[in-house]
Structure 1
Amino acid sequence: MLSLPSQLLIRNLDLFAEGQWAIVNPSDVHIFSEIESDKVVGLHQMFDMYQGASNISKHKQYYAADFTAIPALKENKLDGAVIYLPKAKQHLDLLIHQLNDLLKIGGQLLVVGENKAGIKSVGKLLEKLGSTVNKIDGAKHCGLICVTKENEASKAFNLESNGVIRTYSVNDLPVKVFSLPGVFGHKQFDPGTQLLLSELAPKSDRLLALRGNILDFACGTGIIGTYLLKANAHVKLVMSDVSALATYCAKKTLELNEVEAQVIDSDGLNEVSGTFDAVVSNPPFHTGIKTNYDITQQFIVDAHKQTRPRGKLMIVANRFLPYADTLSKQYFKSQTVLQTNKFSIYEAAK
């Protein structure tokens, strides 16, 4: 099903009639079925969208945290690109700087998105590329904004230089964290994650019980898994996330703390093989700006399948989220370890 931004975009398919174009981080994969030109490529930072588009589309698809590192795009610059408006404005700014490096002088950069997501305010960010910013179309409670690139950037885009490094005290243990816009936990120590890790203090029974293969699902910046590696020498860690930006950050965080783990790009647990003695997570409950319980509900089911006998699952979630029943149905036993007015920490054993 076409998202509302895609429905607006197909009213303007003549944009893609000439030249090399890119569709950047689309909110659905079906937009590629509507575009006839074979000179349109997909650029994705979300692994599920990349896989879905690759499966249904004739168009070339790329998956990367940094699109400027894709050789084919560096050699043949784009005549135009359409960015689907992300949740975080800082993430949009990051994408604009990437696409600026990939566009020809005179090329068009467009942003499409819903009014409630903030499409009306993106013009100032686009003014970095050119002096004239226009609204091309508006319908379906969405807008399509365009700017023409007038000058080359003063310096080449560098993804790492856009990151922020901060050191957080996690149960009195210093953990350096690398983060980028668009990644959960950017420039903050999320309070839900803090609460979860407070139950895994050094030398605590719960932490000492974590041994063997451990999975940090939806790892984000990598703070959970990195802390576990620093606090417990008896774990072998795997991190996974659906976001290329997140796995990029997680790798940087591991390097900063001089610990090692396998980091996997995966839609849910689809790309994660093997079984685990424990799974620890602060799982997502949003798809873009929309609340989506299905991601974590499916994760709980899949985690049970990949947890070894007597293995455990430990997650933190907003208190209002309905995960207790799913846990009790899937696992031999489950309990609410801790509950505040905002969060619940659940532990389940197979």
Structure 2
Amino acid sequence: MLGSWGQQQRSRGLTEDTVTGRAGVVARFADFAGTYPWQWQAADLDEYTSVLRTRGLAVSTIRQMHGTLSVFCDYLIDPAYDWVQICESFFGDTPSQICLSWNTTRHLQDYEGHPGRRALTYEELQHFFDHADSKVEAAVAQGRKGALAALRDAQMFKTAYAFGLRRAELRGLDLADLHFNAKVPQWGQYAALHVRWGKAAKGATPRRRTVLLVPELAWWIEGMRQWVEEGRDLFAPGELAAMWPTERGARVSVEYIDRRFTALRRELGLDPALKLHCLRHSYVTHLIEYGYADRFVQEQVGHAHASTTAIYTSVSGDFKNRILAEALRRFNTLEDS
């Protein structure tokens, strides 16, 4: 059953990671139930969900599990396939849909992530980047290995923020992804980034987009130019086109990026809820505070829907107070006239 379901998903164009991940969800539920899919009951799902909740799993995780099991059951009972007839013929029982409206978690709100996930403040960002830069200086001063890797990591995190990139987008950057912008010729090839590993829609290839560097973040250029023109070649990458090579001539992994961010965050004593993705939240929030239009920000970060961009936005109290002050000033001007 899992094998044929996997074939059906591959035929739809879903990635191997998705197919494998879904199969794992079904297999874990089957192990818990201790029965075959044609014997599953809604009560089995009720019990399984209760156990998962006691383990502290996020609501979104449980909802995704329900969704996967629901899709699997839909596949089994679909008349286009023969599983109902096969099970009835061989086992005298048939599969049924066990994920029902009254025993599954519904998607009631746009954001279901950890409440602690937020944009970093300007002060936190400055401390984070300063700390990353200090790793380079410390390694050089002490004559230790690691100065070059520290330089790469510092610029990598600055790039993630300066362009609002996801992990895979950051990791997948090549030198050829640096682009010009005719509106700011003085910035040269550092005026934009061509992102080729954006989040893919179901069954589709990764989305592409071009992200423009905004003037408020032009401080990024100096460090990036130093990395591209001086630092990167010291890794001796050869024909490797990756923007962020390793000492072994490979591309950095997303796991490494996560580990380094976590290590720097811990050393600074920042909130443990802050993850690498919070740099992307910070980018969206700060662009809104700089006054950029919502549609522009949405295009920059590659969101299909404006509501997703809104979820990422957590403007500061100072920004809201400034907007309110401007509104009051306009109101008072109208009253006086």
TM-score w.r.t. the length of structure 1 is: 0.24
Choose between structure 1 and 2: higher strand proportion: 1
Choose between structure 1 and 2: higher helix proportion: 2
TM-score w.r.t. the length of structure 2 is: 0.24
